[in-house]
Amino acid sequence: MIEATDVNKFYGRFQAVRSLSFRISEGEVVGLLGPNGAGKTTTIRMVTGFLPASSGRIEVCGKDTIRHSLAARRNIGYLPESNPLYPEMRVMDYLTFRARLHGVRASKRQQAIGRSIERCWLADVAKKRIGHLSKGYRQRVGLAAALIHDPRVIVLDEPSSGLDPTQILETRNLIRELAKDRTVLVSSHVLPEVERTCDRVIIIVRGEVRADGHPARLLARLERDHPPVHVVELLVDNTAPDARAGERTAAGGWSGDVARIIAQLRSVPGVRLVVLDTMSPVRPSPDPAPPAPASLASMVSTSRRGAGSIYGAGGGSHWVRLTITPELGYTDLREPIARRLNMGTVLYRDLERRLPTLEHVFSSIIEADRLGPSTPAGSDPRQPRPEAA
């Protein structure tokens, strides 16, 4: 359906895209991900035939986008990045214009326009001027125009930029629905959206493909390279005076109850690192990203200052959160951790395995890129700094 072979694109001396190759087969929904300036829009413009590649070739439905440009364009429905429209036109007139432009026959035109209007929920604004519509409605008009000729390939450049969460959800559902019998290429930097709508993700950074695959498979790979951290919230008795003073003991950590628990957890096979995450009152809902581990002194001062408000299960005991980093190859340590805690009769209320999201894949690739090509696969931003251990 879409096939790019060794595509390069130069703007003057700046190389926007480097030896890009990919193949998108019929019925696939592919997300094109990348930071700003990575070459997403350039790639999309080359796919739609708006810009030629400096070298290499792109085919859509077997037609070269430059040499057989018109034939290739007939199969493409395209929503450009900024969704340019004619503000002085009415929605209905604009869709009629687009239908004629795409050569939709007069006999089928009304039907095609009606279908597009229905699909993009435009019925109540069909007679309004585009310039008077809200951004969300304008985005739908752009989408409706891209679908008017029932194309086999749909290319959407940042379809949800500037939309509110409800509209993003609607757009996502629409893309899912369209994808049933079409090929869709959608560029985005809204990661959850791509994760939920796409069968496949192509990540490009600085004009190069850095990852290509099913989101779940990319995540599995990341999970293997960067085992998911486990977070456990448990009740400790922190009355030992040396702990309050924040002094390290010979045990290499906190004295009293915490130190004992940490030592126990460390001895679980597969555990690489146990970090005392926070001593402030632990909120029941976990944050998406754990807060950066505080320094020893600040942690202690927090515990003192907040002593009154801390869940005081008698005396000096309160809830703490521990972050456990497994060793390579250990992806799920929940059971051994739970067993160990139960053995020591430690009361815990949450044991969570923080699965990586596409965002982590993305940031680890970008981080790797920032550190230079010699660094293997990048460092995981979820991993706590070792000095806090």
Least distance (Å) between residue 291 CB and other proteins: 43
Contacts (CB under 8 A) with other proteins, residues 84-143: 84-86, 88-89, 97-98, 100-103
In the set 78, 137, 319, 362, which binds other proteins (CB under 8 A)? 78
Size of the site for other proteins (CB under 8 A): 27
262: exposed, middle or buried (C-beta count within 10 Å: 0-12, 13-18, 19+)?
Answer: buried
As measured in angstroms, the least distance from the Cβ of 26 to other proteins is 20
Distance CA 209, CA 21 (A): 8
Find the part of the chain contacting other proteins (CB under 8 A) among 71-79, 118-126, 221-229, 365-373.
Answer: 71-79
Nearer to other proteins, 98 or 321 (CB): 98
Burial category of 107 from C-beta neighbours within 10 Å (exposed 0-12, middle 13-18, buried 19 and up):
exposed
In angstroms, what is the minimal distance from the CB of 265 to other proteins?
Answer: 57
Task: In angstroms, give the least distance from the CB of 33 to other proteins.
Answer: 22
Helix (H) / strand (E) containing 230: strand 230-237
Q: Which is nearer to other proteins, 151 or 356 (CB)?
A: 151
From 73-81, 233-241, 265-273, 372-380, span contacting other proteins (CB under 8 A): 73-81
Shortest Cβ 109–other proteins spacing (Å): 10
Count other C-beta atoms under 10 Å from residue 266's C-beta. 16
Which one of 1, 30, 143, 145 is in contact with other proteins (CB under 8 A)? 145
Query: Between 74 and 272, whose beta carbon lies closer to other proteins?
Result: 74
Tell me how far, at minimum, the Cβ of 156 lies from other proteins, in Å: 12
Least separation in angstroms between residue 22's CB and other proteins is: 20
Strand partners for 202: 32, 212
Which residues inside 51-70 make contact with other proteins, applying CB under 8 A? 51-52, 66, 70
- Minimum CB separation of residue 193 from other proteins in Å reads 22
Distance separating alpha carbons of residues 276 and 56, to the nearest angstrom: 53
Rule CB under 8 A: choose which of 80, 136, 246, 290 binds other proteins: 80
Where are the strands (E) in 37-138, listed by range? Answer: 55-60, 63-64, 76-79
- Exposed, middle or buried, 25 (CB in 10 Å: 0-12/13-18/19+)? exposed
> Closest CB to other proteins among 185 and 262?
185
Per-residue contact string for residues 14-53; x = within reach of other proteins by CB under 8 A: -------------------------------x--xxxxx-
Q: Residue 167 corresponds to which amino acid?
A: Q
Q: Is 343 exposed, middle or buried (0-12, 13-18, 19+ CB in 10 A)?
A: exposed
How far CA 323 is from CA of 124, 127, 271, in Å, comes to 52, 58, 11
Q: Quick check: 205 binds other proteins (CB under 8 A)?
A: no
Structure tokens at 329: 């190859």
- Residues 47 and 9: beta-carbon distance below 8 Å: no
Among 32, 76, 178, 365, binds other proteins (CB under 8 A): 76
What are all long-range contacts of 86-90, with beta carbons under 8 Å and residues at least 24 apart? 86/130, 87/129, 87/130, 87/131, 88/129, 88/130, 88/131, 89/129, 89/130, 90/126, 90/127, 90/128, 90/129, 90/130
Q: Which is nearer to other proteins, 132 or 304 (CB)?
A: 132
Closer residue to other proteins, CB minimum distance, 97 or 330: 97
Task: Render the burial of 287-318: b for 16+ CB within 10 Å, e for the rest.
Answer: eeebeebbeeeebbebbeeeeeebeeeeebbb
CA distance 129 to 86: 9
CB count in 10 Å sphere of residue 150: 14
Residue with smaller CB distance to other proteins, 93 or 332: 93
Nearer to other proteins by Cβ, of 79 and 236: the residue is: 79
The site for other proteins (CB under 8 A) is made up of 45, 48-52, 66, 70-71, 73-74, 76, 78, 80, 82, 84-86, 88-89, 97-98, 100-103, 145
